[in-house]
Structures are given as structure tokens and as C-alpha cells.
Amino acid sequence: MSGFRSAASSFSSIHRPQGISSPWDTPVATPHESPATTPGGSPILRDSDGKRLPKADDIKMILSDVDGTLFTDAHELHPTTRDAIRYIRQTRPNVPFIPVTGKQLTSCGDLIKELGIEDMPAACMHGAIIYDKDRKIEQSMSLDPHFVRDVARLMRKHNKSTFLYVEEWNAMVTKEENGSKDWEQVARGFDPAVRDERETDFMQRVLKGREKISKIFLPMDESVVPDMIDLIEKTFHKVPFKITRALPYIIEIVAEGVDKSAALAFFCAKFNVEPKNVISFGDGENDVGMFGASGYSVAMANGMPKPKAVATYQTGSNNEGGVGQFLNAIFRPDHTEGPDARLNPDHLSMLDERLGAVESPLAAGAYP
């Protein structure tokens, strides 16, 4: 089994062809006077391609996605990520660490406690709901109820599963029959509070405004996702909404104007931090806006192509503790991983089972 990769060697900057710029490019800090040290004599930290990393003092706020970023594929925190964030919280308590996720807050309780960020706000369902540190809603946006009903009807017609997210739970209102996967169980892996509402009056409660839908969650075979996106956009071309994806096989629909970049702007105003001093982490297309608004952005090795293309840096995968690797390189570059800073074999065996791996990644040495 391969050893755990060092923080300095596990990520690289993203290079684009000369003359091609990205609309999300954000200038980084001014280079130091010396190629080797800062004017004060401190060493300059660089990634494996030689690109300068931000100094710890450059970072005034940290935002991170959860699934596929903080969480491993088994929906658990990697020890390296957990320990790096707790170290920052202990040594730099004035640097906010805020989860900005497609998940519901009820699904983030254990993560919040494990990271020691109980005193921090959170943005959930891609920023549709923003909570303060006391878990009171500061801002929320929901979808038009008739649009919600019509999307569910369209999914039923095409034999696709539909999950409608209210604040604390989500309703399964259609279920794919004879599908390649049990999409109800897939949905529970991300947000466990799923209720089967196919034979109830739930949709009537939505239409009457008694249930506010913050997000529509549509899992399906990845091969049909492009056609379904095209169908939804053509069917509802006169309706304002936004389609995003955190994973290749899930279509998510939120209200127009909902975006993680808007959540970033909200938190910058709240904490009086300039966007250039924000570092963000993510792996999905839903993170692209946040990346564009951040001074520093870091895509996971397991990320989708779009976030990788626009990020300032790339780090290790979620199963390698990539967030922790990158933060350690900035905030404690001399740190050496302890013997427990890797996923244990029991955890990896469980991960293989959950992923339904035909060829075990554990046996192949794919995990640290």
C-alpha cells in the first residue's frame, strides 16, 4: 500500500494555454521581493509546480463544500482534514471556517461538531438557506410551487426519481422503477432524512405554500443526465430557475439567484472580509461561482472538469484528505502526519462495499 503523500507534493496549480484567460481568474497576492524568502526572512511556500501559495496571514476566511470535499466517499471526515481544520480553529479563532454545501443543515451536525465550528454560520442547499451561528435562518430562497409540481410530473412521466427539499428533510415524490440503482438509498447517503411522500398530500401542501421547496434533487444514470437537463430547460424555458450539479449523476434545481458565490458575498459582508482574502474548496460544478468570487480557490483531485478548469490550485482527493493537505501546507508547513492520519483498513473495506467496487480500490493501493 502506498504511503500518505506529503502536503507539498499532493497538489498543483492549474495551467491554461497562453493567451487564454478565465472569467473567474482572480489575481493572487503580489510576489515577494526575494525568490526564496519574504522581506522578513520567512520562506515562501510554493506548490509542486513552483507557484506561490498564499501566506497564512493572507487568509481571512475559509469556505468549503462538504460532499466530495470535506467528506470521503463514505460520507465521513478524513483525519487529515479534520485535524488541519481543528488546528486552525485553535490557533486562529478569528478566521471563520464556514461550510457552504448542497446538504441540509440537519445532515451537517456531526461534521460541525467534529470540526469544532459550532460557533460558525453555514450556507446550505447551495446557498438557498443561510444560517447564523445560532442556527437561525438569516436568508432563504425557495422555488415556485407550481414549477415544483410540474418538474415532478415530468420526472414521473420519464420514470425518474424526484426528491423535494424542505428545510429539515426531503420528500420522495416519484421513484424510478427498475433502475440501475436504488436512488432512494443514494439520496439517503447525502441527506438521510428522506420521507416517502408519493401517496400523501405533500404536493398539495407545497401548492398551498405550507411547504417551501429550497431544492429539487434528481439522481439518475449519468449517461442520461445531459438529455434530461436539455429536456428540463426546453420544457420550462419561460420559468426562472437554476440547474447545478455537485456530482455527475445528480441534477439539482434551485431558485434563480441561488449560488455559492452569493453566500460568499454574504459572509464577506458579515465578517468584514475582502473576497481576495477568502480561500474556497470544492469539487462540483456548483462550486464554480464560489471559486470565481474567491481570492484563492482549490479544486479536489476527484472534482468535476469545470471546477478544476477554473480553480487557482488543485489538491489531493477527498479520500486522501486533500483539504487538510492544502491547509497544512499553508498554516503548518513543517507538520508531519501522525500514524493515525490515514484511513484505517476497516473504513476502507466499508468504503469499497458502499461504492460497490468491482475491483477493490483498497487492494489496488488507491487509498493512503
* Tens-level pLDDT at each residue, the chain (368 residues): 333 333 334 444 444 444 434 433 433 333 333 344 444 444 445 555 556 899 999 999 999 999 999 999 999 999 999 999 999 999 999 999 999 999 999 999 999 999 999 999 999 999 999 999 999 999 999 999 999 999 999 999 999 999 999 999 999 999 999 989 999 999 998 999 999 999 999 999 999 999 999 999 999 999 999 999 999 999 999 999 999 998 899 999 999 999 999 999 999 999 999 999 999 999 999 999 999 999 999 999 999 999 999 999 999 999 999 999 999 999 999 887 654 444 544 555 555 555 554 444 444 444 33
pLDDT of residue 363: 43
Assigned domain for 95 exists? yes
pLDDT of residue 335: 85
Residues 163 and 86 occupy one common structural domain? no
Digit-coded pLDDT (tens) for 35-55: 444 444 444 455 555 568 999
Residues 283 and 250 occupy one common structural domain? no
Residues 263 and 135 occupy one common structural domain? yes
Digit-coded pLDDT (tens) for 153-179: 999 999 999 999 999 999 999 999 998
Assigned domain for 121 exists? yes
Residues 237 and 172 occupy one common structural domain? yes
SS3 content of the chain, % helix, strand, coil (to 5): 35, 15, 50
Digit-coded pLDDT (tens) for 211-249: 999 999 999 999 999 999 999 999 999 999 999 998 899
List phi, psi (to 5°) of 96. -65, 135
Check which CATH number belongs to the domain holding 129 and give it.
3.40.50.1000
pLDDT of residue 18: 43
Residues 176 and 124 occupy one common structural domain? no
Assigned domain for 37 exists? no
Assigned domain for 56 exists? yes
Assigned domain for 28 exists? no
Q: Which of 284, 357, 288 is nearest to 68 (CA)?
A: 284
Assigned domain for 57 exists? yes
pLDDT of residue 256: 95
Q: Which of 110, 28, 35 is nearest to 66 (CA)?
A: 110
Residues 175 and 201 occupy one common structural domain? yes
Residues 61 and 197 occupy one common structural domain? no
Assigned domain for 20 exists? no
Residues 211 and 245 occupy one common structural domain? yes
CA atoms of 12 and 9, how far apart (whole Å): 8
Residues 189 and 264 occupy one common structural domain? no
pLDDT of residue 255: 96
Of the three residues 207, 224, 254, the one that is the final residue of a domain is 254
Residues 221 and 170 occupy one common structural domain? yes
Of the three residues 200, 233, 254, the one that is the final residue of a domain is 254
Assigned domain for 26 exists? no
pLDDT of residue 45: 57
Q: How many domains does the chain have?
A: 2
CA atoms of 234 and 249, how far apart (whole Å): 20
Of the three residues 238, 254, 270, the one that is the final residue of a domain is 254
Digit-coded pLDDT (tens) for 108-122: 999 999 999 999 999
Residues 119 and 268 occupy one common structural domain? yes
Q: How far is CA 317 from the centre of its chain?
A: 12
Domain region containing 75 = 7-12+44-139+259-355
Check which CATH number belongs to the domain holding 156 and give it.
3.30.1240.10
Residues 283 and 331 occupy one common structural domain? yes
CA distances from 96 to 39, 89, 120, 142 (A): 28, 8, 7, 27
